[in-house]
A and B are shown apart, each in its own frame.
Chain A
Amino acid sequence: MSQQRPALWAAEDEIEEDFQGVDMNLAIGNYGQNGMYDDVQSRIDEAALLAVQQQMAQQAAFAQIPDTVKRFIVHFHQAVLNNNLEEITVAYESGWTRLTEKFYAKTEWPEAEVIAPLVNDDPIFLILYRELYYRHVYSRLQPNIDDRFHSYENSCELFNYLLNSEGPVPLDLPEQWLWDIIDEFIYQFQSYCVWRSRVKNKSDEELAMLQEAAQASVNIENLIIINFSLDLCRLVDQALLSLVWSAYSVLNVLYSLIQKSKINEYIAAQQQGKTEEELAEIVGEYGSRPLYRMLGYFSIIGLLRVHTMLGDFTLALKVMEGVELNQKTPFTRVTACHVATYYYVGFCYIMLQRYPDAIRTFVSVLNFILRMRQYHTRSYQYDQINKTADRMYALFAICNALSPSRVDDNILNVVKERYGEQSAKMTRGEEGIPAFEELFIYACPKFISANPPPYEDPSLLPLHLNLTEPAQRHLSLFLSSVRSQLSVPTLRSFLKLYTSLDAKKLAGFVDADEEEMVQGMMAMKMGCRSVVGGGVGGQVGRGEGTLQAESGKGLLEGTLVSTSDLDFVIAENMVHIVESTVGRRYAGWFIRNTEHAQRVLDSVKNSRLPTPPQKAAPPGPAAPAEAAAKVGQKVTWGGVKVA
């Protein structure tokens, strides 16, 4: 029975007439019959009247909820109560999405208070329900200021429950959901920061609330900060509620989850090859529960993202110190997390001007996405993953323009297809700057300012009307580093034609002053050297590569290598040029075709032999074998052409 239920409501047709064994009256309890009406008769004070009105409104709202939805919520609640991961997953991944499409594409889900009777006012389930409720508001509708404040409160309650209950909580949630919780928490923070930084078009009510929040935060922040390093978890408490969406409170939550779950210790111990018992010993009662372990891991990725949004690219990579980026750890099971990780790491590398590392990062995950595509088209996150992938192709195009290198052909072909025009422009010196701008703004993460405009002092607000957006600031920093390499493509094209060349002659070619050109060549030479981490000079594996050569070394580590195939040196006024060539690569071709041949052979072996003609006396083992060989050969050659 329990196996069937999710399938039933998840199926296209619902069974309206049947509550599937759930007694709605029982589930609702004695709603509306708790003696309230007797009181109403005797003394109607304002509060009671309000309460009654509210209750009546809730009843009306309750009555409007379609039965399918009521059933869904009851089942969902049961699944959570039973810690039945499988059913929770179905409810979470398909049930919710399906009912959203059907009933709530343009409106909110029923409020938690309205559905509370269905779940016996279970506070934990209501927190989880609100988590989904607000996420839906943010993704489908326009959150108003109340939504923003309340979603923050709900997140605080959730984390408070997880971190400050007595001992680890007995809750199991699907990994995907856990990732979504962290991801959404940071998204809402970012969304709030962006909204808050726009002083224009705020209503009086909004201004008043923001002012109040700003004043409260001044009072409480000190308290928080003093305690910050003492006991992180205790802070995810009432005090935090007044600090709506401050950067401190968000970091506090993430660091608390990391500390509580001992995730860094877990990863280190795992890399040392400790046994399961030893691991459990090391990480303690919290860390040995999957819920906390995954939340801890996702919080590390969350920190990577928050620091990137705040423009702290070194710290972003530093928090990833312990994490080994490859596709074999169990943490990669949540594809959205995996893709986000590589996106932010790659972007940080760009801002650190480590383009080869950025390229390696993007190639690795883009190949992963290409290969996984067939499995993920069904996922409700497919769109999001595709969008991030498209951004990474754009970032890849930027990196490849700045540090041309031999890279994965698959990826390069997609880039040519999508960003061919911009790629061509980016090699044309000053003319190419708009192309860099366009791709950067399209593909960069959302940046935020750490601090709100001074809502507590309205006299200062007008000064904040025309501030540059954080993204523009990062763009101009990025362009300043691009500008120092602008002359490279032109110089390169001339250098490629010679083995030695007089500097004066070269200056004549590029129509520049000789001295300036020599300085440009120095800049070019310096630009061709880059810090590269991990497998230095190693070929970019087809997505299998680890981003770290040795474990225990952070993503910031690296060695200085030359990244250009064209090298030169100046002896006084003579430029000597050499070019490195890459021998033809055969391996990939042979590997692809061997794999293909294996598949063909398999299918040939598995297909039925044609029924031998009746009259032929001996079945003639030669004939089918020959046929098989023929088919095999034909298909193999066909495969070669395709490859």
Chain B
Amino acid sequence: MASATAAWVCPPTRPEQIENLVSGVDRYNPNNVGILEDYLYHQIRSEEYDCLANLAILKLYQFNPDLYNPDVVINILLKALTSSPFPDFNLCVSLLDDRPPNPNLDEPDPLPELLSTLTALNTLLHQCRFPAFWSLYYSDDLQTLRDNYTVECVGFEDSVRDIVIRAVKATFTRIGSKRLGSYLSLDGGDLVSYIDNLGWQLDSSTAVIAVPPNPDNQISSTVIQENIKLPQLTKIIAHETLTV
């Protein structure tokens, strides 16, 4: 079985310079924050994702409050949202120390307000409440988030749809197209072409989509037998050799 976390621990797209930063003590050098921030914006433009590199930015912010840049933090959180059901979002928030708003700033810090919105979005994704996610996401209250942030984040909505597809693939063998449409926030021709792209079959008479078989939606009952490992027997064997 291939490691599920290899790409997360070290994405194949990660440049060597970043790898050295992430794995060495250079990650603590605040002079490197620019390199990591540039890399974040590169991720945003090219639909890549590197959680550990982004956590390194937050780490530098944690130690050097002067470096703090709310836009960067929000972008990191947006990227982390799309890795649900993995807990990346929470891991990022863990690194945000609680700080009262600094009254000396020229502009108000947009993060505190957006953080609660993003947390709500994350919760909905985590609970697989996809229709609720979309209605919150498209609500008027989130206009600023959409206009200022997610619009820059290439493929944000599609990566949310990837989360939906992961959950649906695991849970369903067949699913009504209306239901799937509500999860994906797609309907009509968009939905049909999205399903076509996935290579899934839509039965037009019943409007039911067949989800291709995969290890998660092929269930079978098994009886697990125990395996005795040699270390369990060391005491007994050692004793035998002693007495012989």
Contacts and interface: CB of A to CB of B under 8 A. Distances in A.
Interface of A: 225-226, 228-229, 232, 247-248, 251, 255, 310-315, 318, 351-353, 449-451, 460, 463-464, 467-468, 470, 473-474, 477, 480-481, 483-484, 515-516, 518-523, 525-527, 529, 531, 533, 536, 538-539, 541-542, 544-545, 553-554, 556-562, 567-572, 576, 578-583, 585-588, 591, 594-595, 598, 602
A523 B94 contact: no
B91 A225 contact: no
Contacts of A311: 94-95
B123 A484 contact: yes
Contacts of B97: 449-451, 470
Contact of B228 (A460, A480, A569, A587): A587
A195 to B, nearest CB: 17
A557 B9 contact: yes
A232 B25 contact: yes
13 contacts: A229-B26, A229-B29, A313-B91, A473-B98, A474-B94, A515-B131, A522-B128, A523-B167, A542-B232, A557-B6, A576-B219, A580-B222, A582-B224
A127 to B, nearest CB: 26
B126 to A, nearest CB: 4
A310 B28 CA distance: 14
Given A480-B123, A572-B174, A314 B91 contact: yes
A460 B217 CA distance: 56
B94 A541 contact: no
A571 B172 contact: yes
A463 B100 contact: yes
Given A251-B28, A353-B86, A519-B129, 4 more contacts: A225-B29, A460-B100, A463-B103, A572-B172
Contact of B62 (A450, A544, A545, A554): A450
Contact of A583 (B31, B216, B225, B229): B225
A352 B172 CA distance: 26
Given A522-B171, A567-B219, A583 B224 contact: yes
A588 to B, nearest CB: 8
A531 B129 contact: no
Contacts of A558: 3-5
Contacts of A460: 100, 102-103
B148 interface: no
Contacts of A544: 231-232, 234
Nearest to B234: A544
A85 B56 CA distance: 42
Contacts of B1: 536, 559, 561
Interface residues of B, number: 82
Given A228-B25, A352-B87, A559-B3, A572 B176 contact: yes
A557 B6 CA distance: 6
B55 A314 contact: yes
B59 A523 contact: no
A637 B243 CA distance: 23
Contacts of A484: 123, 126-127
Contact of A568 (B101, B219, B229): B219
A483 B93 CA distance: 17
B87 A353 contact: yes
B55 A312 contact: yes
Contact of B224 (A310, A581, A602): A581
B105 interface: no
A437 to B, nearest CB: 16
Contact of A539 (B28, B101, B227): B227
A351 B217 contact: no
A312 B59 contact: yes
Contacts of B176: 572
Nearest to A459: B103
Interface string B1-30: 111111011000000000000011110111
Given A536-B1, A583-B226, A228 B233 contact: no
B98 A470 contact: yes
B151 interface: no
A129 to B, nearest CB: 32
A568 B170 CA distance: 10
A521 B166 CA distance: 14
Nearest to A487: B127
B174 A571 contact: yes
A247 B24 contact: no
B236 interface: yes
B117 interface: no
B188 to A, nearest CB: 20
B94 A477 contact: yes
Contact of B130 (A519, A527, A581, A588): A519
Contacts of B218: 569
Contact of B9 (A477, A518, A556): A556
B220 interface: yes
Contacts of B172: 569-572
A177 B27 CA distance: 31
B170 A525 contact: yes
B94 A351 contact: yes
Interface in B191-244: 208, 216-229, 231-236, 239, 243
B65 interface: yes
A470 B62 CA distance: 13
B51 to A, nearest CB: 8
B196 to A, nearest CB: 20
A465 to B, nearest CB: 9
A110 B193 CA distance: 81
Given A521-B171, A529-B170, A594 B236 contact: yes
A164 B119 CA distance: 47
Contacts of A351: 87, 90-91, 94
B111 interface: no
A578 B220 contact: yes
Contact of A315 (B59, B90, B233, B239): B59
A309 B181 CA distance: 43
Interface string B53-97: 001000100111100000000000000000001110011011101
A154 B227 CA distance: 54
B59 to A, nearest CB: 6
B56 to A, nearest CB: 8
B136 interface: no
Contacts of B235: 591, 595
Interface string B112-139: 0000000100110011111100000000
Contacts of A542: 232
Contacts of B28: 225, 228-229, 248, 251
B186 interface: no
Nearest to A448: B97
A578 B221 contact: yes
A449 B221 CA distance: 48
A559 B5 CA distance: 7
A373 to B, nearest CB: 18
Contacts of B5: 531, 533, 556-559
Contact of A541 (B171, B221, B232): B232
Contact of B63 (A247, A520, A526, A586): A247
Those 8 A-B pairs whose CB atoms lie nearest each other, nearest first: A463-B100, A522-B128, A311-B94, A578-B221, A560-B4, A523-B128, A544-B231, A484-B126
Contacts of A310: 62, 95
